[in-house]
Structure formats: structure tokens, C-alpha cells
Amino acid sequence: MNTKFKQVLTVSVASVMLVSTVGLNKNEAKAAGGSTDTSYTEVWKDDFNGANLNTANWNYELGSIRGIEQQHYVNNPENVYQKDGNLVLKATDRPKADQYGNPRDTSEIVKYNSGSIHTNGKREFLYGKLEIRAKLPKGQGVFPAFWTLGSDFTLDGKIANNQGHGWPSTGEIDITELIGKPETEVNGNNGVYQTLHYGTGVDDNGKYAGNGTEFKLDKGVFNDAYHTFALEWNKDSMKWLVDGKVVRTVNYADDPTAKTIFNKPQYMQLNLATGGAWPGPAGDNLNNKEFDIDYVKYSRNSTQQADANAYYSKAPKIEGAQNVVINQGEVPDLLKNIKTQDGNKVDYSINDAPMFQSAGGNTEVKLLVDGVANKDRIANLKPGKYSLYYSAYNKDASPSDIKTQIDRKAVTLEVK
């Protein structure tokens, strides 16, 4: 979901020339960077059949995030809701009184409310097959995405920087993105992109970073019907699929930076942006445009399970994280019931996401307590609910080092 312009290789149903391991024997598949086990076992699925979003799995992303996009992410029920077995992320006109210039380019007016959700601290994924079935919107500047980021990400400053990694050293896997054109044009509304972003420091400079591919339908646009979009992720390689067809393969075994970054867990994100540097200005007629997701599903085969087990056997693990209730003015020991392996340490961050207000211009989530060293700030928290993120890592390692393994758990802190 990086919003910079991307160079892409365009492919279509009739002209897929990228490497696929489908139909190869086991030795050939292994040489091509793929798993030799094609039988998947479902690990987790959200059918979105309930009345409301399951916040045991999902968090809301809120405010003006990333680039020069023209949406304000909100948790309003008209922008993020479940209906008829679908998760709906909907763009709606932002009231005139609440519109504002994007803080990264004030000439780009934030004129829509929209939805974005993620699983950071609640569900993470390492190897396996991630898939959604969805109907994508169309129109000038609609920008829906299904993607992942490293579970160690500091959420654009909503978690203390010394408790994780910043972008792009977390890694980003864009499983599918669409940048819509005017509804009268097929071009744009009929193509989806598959891209990796990663690097050291602040540079998106990995060997396979950027330069993704575009997959185009031979007929129609992605708003005409539901389609499946998937990533098959093996240790050192990835495959992207649209409607079961392999549209891109990357074997990153020859890139030490990619091996370090992408052989660690990622979390999932679904969002509907509008406008930005890549899709261009958002049209004036995007009110009520929907990104409709039928399901999201995660599966693993035996090889992927074994490789994930090997990672987790050595990785930090947080135990005992649960919702906390305190009285105003108290400074509790929030690490009292938290356990991790010998040699690790746990720290925490507290932000005010659950009390976010969408009205009032450029409203935002604020990091209020940036670690146990500043725990006295807890006494200043007003009554209400807060997001409490625990992070565990080796006590002798630097969390900003991309080699450092980090476990993350998100719970709620309620102040009475």
C-alpha cells in the first residue's frame, strides 16, 4: 500500500509468462522456489457472517495515514460494517466542516471518510496461503488493497519506536491493489497489482522492492463480480494468484535482506483509500463506493507449518496478555502477569484509538504512554478505553535492528 508511483509488468489471463510451480514435479517445484506440498489445511477464516466486526481479530486504522490520499479512516458504522455475509469498507462524503488539507500536501483535500482494518497484535501470519474473495470498487482514484506488514511494525508512531520497526524494514506484501480510473474507462478498473516493498533504514531499496506486476482481466472490470486474490508464501519465495491463476512468482533466496525481513511474521490489512500520488486525485463521485469482502482465509501445508514451527521455536513469545481495568489515577504494574522466555524483555505502548472521534477536522490517534520507563503517565489517563500493545524481544538486541524478532500482543486498557 506504499503510495509512491510503481513501475509494473502487465500480464493478463492469456499471457501469463511468470514462473509457476503448478504442474511441476517435486524436484522442479523446489528448484523454482515453491513448496512441494500442495495440500492446504485451513488455520483461520473470517466469513464476516456476524452482525459486527470481530474486534478479537481486527483493529481499526484511524485518521489520515500515509501519502497524500484523500480519505479520513474512521470506525463509523456506515464506513466499516458487516452485511449479508460481507465485510463492507465504504467511502462516504466527509462533512464539509470536517474536510481539511492532507498534512503532507495541503492542496489535496481530505473529502471522504472510509474504512481500514488490520490484525496487528491480534493475528499474525508466517508462511501459508492468505486469500480473500472480494468485489472491488471502480471509479477515479478508488484505491482498495489487501496487503500485509511486519508484525513488528510501530503503526506509524502509534507504538513507541523503540519497541519495533518502521517502514519499510518491516516488509510489505501487496497481495492485491487496484487504482481506479473514471467509470467510463475499462483501463484501470480491470487491473490489479502485486508488489513487494522492503529495505533497510528508510529506503525501499530491496532487490525485489517496487517494480511489481499488473494483472488485467481480458473482459470486464473487477467491479462486475467477486474474484479471489491470494498469496502462497513459502520460506524464501512467494506466489500471487488471481482466481486461482499464478500471476507472479518471486524467489528471494538470493537476497539476504529479503530473507531477513520476509521470513518473519506479518499481519493482515484491508482498506479502501481514495486518491493519492499513485492513483491520482480522487473523483467527486466516490460517495458510497464499496470494497466488499466475502471472506478472508489463511491455510498452511505441511512444509509451511514445519518452517513456521522452526521460527516460533526460537522466537520471543508473550504469555498472559489480557484486558486490564484500572481506576483513574492509578499506576499499575502492567507487566505483573506478563511472561516471556528467559533472556527476553517486554515493554508496552498505550494509545487512545478506542476513543477516536471522526468529526473535527484532522483527528488522530495519539501515543500517550511510550513504555514502562514512563509508566507514571498512566496516572494522567482520563476515564475511557485505550489500546495497550505489548512487545517482547531479546533484552540484548535492538528492536530497530531488522534481525530482531519481536512478538506483539494487543489488548484493551480501561480506566474507570
What proportions of the chain, in percent to the nearest 5, are helix, strand and coil? Answer: 10, 40, 50
Question: Residue 283 is placed in which grid cell?
Answer: 473523483
* Exposed / middle / buried, residue 336 (Cβ in 10 Å: 0-12, 13-18, 19+): exposed
The amino acid sitting at 112 is Y
- The Cα–Cα gap between 154 and 382 comes to 24
Measured between alpha carbons, how far is 99 from 110 in angstroms, rounded to an integer? 6
Q: What pLDDT score does 9 carry?
A: 52
- The residues pairing with 387 across neighbouring beta strands, listed in sequence order, are 351, 412
For residue 17, pLDDT over 60 is answered with: no
For residue 220, name the pLDDT band (cuts at 50, 70, 90).
very high
Is 261:197 a contact under the CB 8 Å cutoff?
A: no
Q: Is the pLDDT of residue 186 over 50?
A: yes
123's CB contacts (< 8 A; 6+ apart) are 44, 57, 267, 268
Record the cell numbers describing residue 251, joined without a space: 524467489
> So what's the pLDDT on residue 400?
82
Q: Whole-number mean pLDDT of the chain?
A: 92
CA–CA dist 260, 58 (Å, integer)? 26
* Position 342 pLDDT exceeds 50: yes
CATH level 3 topology of 8-308: Jelly Rolls (2.60.120)
pLDDT band at 71 (very low <50, low <70, confident <90, very high): very high
Does residue 282 have a pLDDT over 50? yes
3-state secondary structure of 352: coil
Q: Judge if 8-308 and 316-415 fold alike in CATH terms.
A: no
**Where in the chain are the domains?**
8-308, 316-415
Q: Which three cell numbers stand for residue 414?
A: 480501561
Could you tell me the pLDDT band of residue 228, with boundaries at 50, 70 and 90? very high
- Per-residue pLDDT tens for 247-266? 999 999 999 999 999 999 99
Domain 316-415, what fold? Immunoglobulin-like (2.60.40)
- The pLDDT assigned to 36 comes to 55
Banded pLDDT at 37 (limits 50, 70, 90): low
How high is the pLDDT of residue 25? 39
pLDDT tens for residues 94-151?
Answer: 999 999 999 999 999 999 999 999 999 999 999 999 999 999 999 999 999 999 999 9
Which residues, including other chains, have CB under 8 Å from residue 149's CB and lie 6 or more apart? 118, 120, 167, 170, 171, 172, 266, 267, 269
Q: Are 230 and 240 in contact (CB under 8 A)?
A: yes
Torsion of CA 246, 248, 254, 256, to 10 degrees: -110
Alpha-carbon torsion 5, 246, 151, 209, what sign? negative
> How far are the Cα atoms of 128, 161, 319, 344 from residue 298, in angstroms, in the given order?
7, 29, 23, 29
CA distance 213 to 240: 10
346 pLDDT exceeds 50? yes
Region 185-193: mean pLDDT is 95
Q: Is 345 exposed, middle or buried (0-12, 13-18, 19+ CB in 10 A)?
A: middle
- Percentage of the residues of the chain whose pLDDT score is greater than 90: 88
